[in-house]
Structure 1
Amino acid sequence: MIVFRYLSREVLLTLSAVSAVLLVIIMSGRFIRYLAQAAQGLLDPGVLLLIMAYRVPGFLQLILPLALFLGILLAYGRMYLDSEMTVLSATGMSQQRLFAYSLAPATLVALLAGWLSLGLAPQGVEHVARILNEQSAMTELDTLVPGRFQSMKNGSRVTYTEELSEDRGALSEVFISETQLSSKGDKERGISVLVAESGRQEIQADGSRYLILENGYRYDGNPGQADYRAIKYDTYGVLLPKPEVAAEVTEREAIPTRELIGNDKPRMQSELQWRLSIPVLVFVVTLLAVPLSRVNPRQGRFLKLLPAILLYMAYLALLIAARGALDKENIPAVLGLWWVHGLFVLIGLLLLYWEPLRLRWAARRVAQEVARG
């Protein structure tokens, strides 16, 4: 029992550290993308942290199997390097028994990953999709920040205002620059610049919104050429475009798991099998990691780390490929993703029992040679 607690503690501590590092890396990259969209006026800065919080379950469900895989490799690899495993082997600790002990932390991780995959992650995706839809329904004025140049429409339009009222209905010192494109949208015809002392928002009967500019000028022309045209106006209306927020989630990812059960559509079956594959993945990578963690102290603890990671990547790549094939009905739903798990279970069993079988065969050959001699 002492050995069991020690092994479980080592694996779980390493798993927690690896999970934290991977989560920070993934969330940092995604948060930078959201910040870039907020700087362009595509997202309200106030919803960034909320979106990130809803995305955490989706990140964790993929991080946990990899973190457990690396946790076993690093924890047991250190024990082999420090000859702790040698001492345990001398007391009867076989690879099979080590794998049995490793199933305890693997079960905890599988339960957590299954909860995330089947429950929390779809709910988080649904909330993120709703937030992004709300952002897509907003206009340029709703995301405008006073005192900052804001680009819209893929950078072809830049808007600036010195001051903006709390209800976002009135502006002062307005500047709008927009690149004019040809009818085909492939060539620039020039730049149109609008400046005004003030502006206000006006909603039409059809729901479209206009920015009504007052007391200003409009300049049209091409940079570098002296053919600019200046027009003074008292009132000028500008249609407010809606931010084009790119959807990062698909509709099926937000469907509750209970609605996927019994659905005969290939894409729904694929999504259900993918969610069920996450906890199964935890047990399979445990079977792979235990024999791969065995290293010679002279070789170093990182000798098998690269081949192990490549094996994990191959496993995940095959799962993704099988998911795509199931979406396109290239493989039957009965076969689905399960053949990939079965293949790597066989690989794991081969790795787990290869060393005992090799030693048994070697002992048999020695016995045969002694009998002949």
Structure 2
Amino acid sequence: MIVFRYLSRELLVTLSAVSAVLLVIIMSGRFIKYLSQAAQGVLDPGVLFMIMGFRLPGFLELILPLGLFLGILLAYGRLYLDSEMTVLSATGMSHKRLLAYTLAPATLIAVLVAWLSLGLAPQGVAGVARILNEQDALTEFDTLVPGRFQAMRDGSRVTYTEALTEDRSQLSGVFISEKRLRTGSDAKDKKDPGIAVLVAEKGRQEIQADGSRYLILENGYRYDGNPGQADYRAIKYDTYGVLLAKPEVSSEVGEREAIPTRELIGSDDPRHQAELQWRLSIPLLVFIVTLLAVPLAKVNPRQGRFLKLLPAILLYMAYLSLLIAARGQLDKGKIPMELGLWWVHGLFLLIGLGLFLWQPLQLKLASRRAVKEMAHG
């Protein structure tokens, strides 16, 4: 029991450290992307942390199996390097017992991953979809940030306001630059864009009966012209209306990923069945990568701790990539639903069993050679 607690502690500590690093890397990349969309006025900055919170279960369901795999390699690799595993083997620790001890914390991780994959992750995807749908209803006016230039309509319009009231009803110090088609008689290509610049002392939002929204500017100027040409036209106005377009928010998740697992069970839709098999595959992945990692973690102290780390990672990437590819083929109907993703798990289960059984066999062969050499000597 003492050995079991020691191995479990070493494994879980390493797993936690590796998973935390991977989580920070992945979430930082996604947060930067969402932050860029917020800076462009596509997303409200106030919902960024809500989106990241909803995406967290989806990140963890894929990070934890990889964290467990790397945790076994690093934790057990250190024990082999420090000859602790040699001492344990001398006291009766067999490969089967080591695998049994490792499967105990792996089962805990598999249960956690199953909870994330089957329950929390779909709820998180639904939460993200709900927030993005709410963002789709916003206009440029709703996402403006005082003192910042914000690009709208794929960069065709840039908007700036010096100040904005707390209830977002009034703007002051408004600047809008918008691309337009050239209209000058000397334009060689009518499709070449010109520029229209609007400046105003203040502005407000107005909603029409048809639901369209306009930014009503007051006391300002409009400047029209073509870059590089001295044909600018200035128009002073008392009131000017600018149509507010809705920001285009792109979603990274599909609708079926937000469907609760209970609705997928028994569905006749092949895409729903493929999604269900994928969700069940993630917890199963935990047990198989554990079987792969235990024999791969064994290293010779003379060879170093990281000798097998790169081949092991490549093997894990091949496993996950093959699962993703099989999922895509399953969606297209090119793989029978009965075969599904299970053949991928079966293939790597055989690889894991081969690696696990090869080490004791290798030790027996080495022992026999040593006995023969001693006998002949």
> Is 1:119 matched with 2:119?
yes
In structure 1, C-alpha distance between the alignment counterparts of 2:94 and 2:192, rounded to whole Å: 72
Aligned residue among 275, 295, 306 for 2:310: 306
Tell which deviates more after alignment, 187-196 or 6-15: 187-196
Secondary structure of 1:154 counterpart: helix
Q: Which amino acid in the other structure matches residue 70 of structure 2?
A: L
Deviation per CA, 1:125-182: give whole Å up to 9, x if none.
1001100110111000001011211111111111111121222222112110011258
Following TM superposition, by how much is the alpha carbon of 1:110 offset from its aligned partner in structure 2, in angstroms? Answer: 0.2
Q: State the alpha-carbon separation in 1 of the partners of residues 371 and 86 from structure 2.
A: 26
Read off the aligned partner of 1:208 and give its amino acid letter: S
Asked if structure 2 preserves the Cα contact closer than 8 Å seen for 1:171 and 1:198, the reply is: yes
Aligned-partner Cα distance in 1 for 2:160–2:374: 91
Alpha-carbon distance, 1:362 to partner: 5.2
SS at match of 1:171: strand
| Mapped pair 1:204 → 2:214 | no
**Higher alpha-carbon deviation: 240-249 or 340-349:** 240-249
The separation in 2 between residues aligned to 1:126 and 1:305, in whole angstroms, is 37
**Letter in structure 2 aligned against 1:116:** L
Q: For 2:195 and 2:316, how far apart are their aligned partners in 1?
A: 53
Residue 357 of structure 2 corresponds to residue 353 of structure 1: yes
The alignment partner of 1:212 has SS state of strand
SS at match of 1:318: helix
Q: Percent identity?
A: 80
Equivalence for 2:187:
none
State the superposition RMSD in angstroms: 2.0
For residues 85-234 of structure 1, what are the structure 2 equivalents within 5 Å?
A: 85-181=85-181, 187-234=191-238
Counterpart in the other structure of 2:3: 3
Q: Which has the higher mean CA deviation after the structures are superposed, 199-208 or 287-296? A: 199-208
Query: Is residue 38 from structure 1 mapped to residue 38 from structure 2 by the alignment?
Result: yes
Q: Is contact 1:99–1:287 with CA below 8 Å preserved after alignment?
A: yes
What is the CA deviation profile of residues 59-86 of structure 1, one whole-angstrom value per residue up to 9, with x for unaligned ones? 0000000000000000000000000000
Structure 1 length-normalised TM: 0.95
Are the counterparts in 1 of residues 195 and 224 from structure 2 also a CA contact under 8 Å?
yes
Aligned mates of 1:24, 1:268 — CA distance in 2: 31
Paired residue secondary structure (2:159): strand
- On the 8 A contact 2:182/2:226 being kept in 1, the answer is no
**Alignment-mate amino acid for residue 92 of structure 1:** G
1:344 and 1:181, CA in 2 relative to 1: closer, same or farther beyond 3 A? farther
Compute the displacement of 1:206 (Å).
Answer: 1.0
TM-score (norm 2): 0.94
Report the residue type matching 2:55 in the other structure: R
- Equivalent residue letter for 1:126: A
State whether residues 99 and 290 of structure 1, in contact with CA within 8 Å, keep that contact through their aligned partners in structure 2: yes
SS across alignment from 2:155: coil
1:188 CA displacement: 3.5
Inter-partner Cα distance in structure 1 for 2:194 and 2:371: 90
Tell me the residue number matched to 1:243.
247
Distance in 1 (CA, whole Å) between partners of 2:182 and 2:360 is: 74
Name the count of aligned residue pairs.
Answer: 371
Counterparts in 2 of 1:372 and 1:327: CA distance versus 1, 3 Å: same
Cα offsets for 1:343-364 (capped at 9, x unmatched): 0000000000002223334556
Name the structure 2 match of 1:320.
324
Residue type of the alignment partner of 1:105? P
Moved more, 187-196 or 33-42: 187-196
Note closer, same or farther for the CA distance 1:7–1:367 as it changes in structure 2 (3 Å cut): closer
Aligned-pair CA distance for 1:234: 1.7
Pick closer, same or farther for the CA change 1:367–1:201 going to 2, 3 Å.
same
Q: 1:371 to 1:297 in 2, by over 3 A?
A: closer
| Distance 1:257-1:227 versus aligned 2 partners, 3 A rule | same
Structure 1 alignment gaps of length 5 or more: none
The one-character-per-residue Cα deviations of 1:196-219 (angstroms, maximum 9, x if unpaired) are 122111101111100111221111
The answer for the alignment partner of 1:285 in structure 2 is: 289
Cα distance, 1:187–1:5 mapped onto 2, change above 3 Å: farther
Q: Supply the distance in 1 between the matched residues of 2:116 and 2:367 (Cα, whole angstroms).
A: 48
> In 2, distance between residues paired with 1:280 and 1:188?
57
Shift of 1:372: 11
Range 320-329 or range 231-240, more displaced: 231-240
**1:275 match:** 279
- Paired with 1:4 and 1:138, the residues of 2 have a C-alpha distance of 56
CA distance in 1, matches of 2:239, 2:32: 39
- The answer for the alignment partner of 2:186 in structure 1 is none
How far residue 271 of structure 1 moved from its aligned partner, in angstroms, is: 0.7
Deviations 1:287-325 (A, max 9, x none): 000000000000001000000000000000000000000
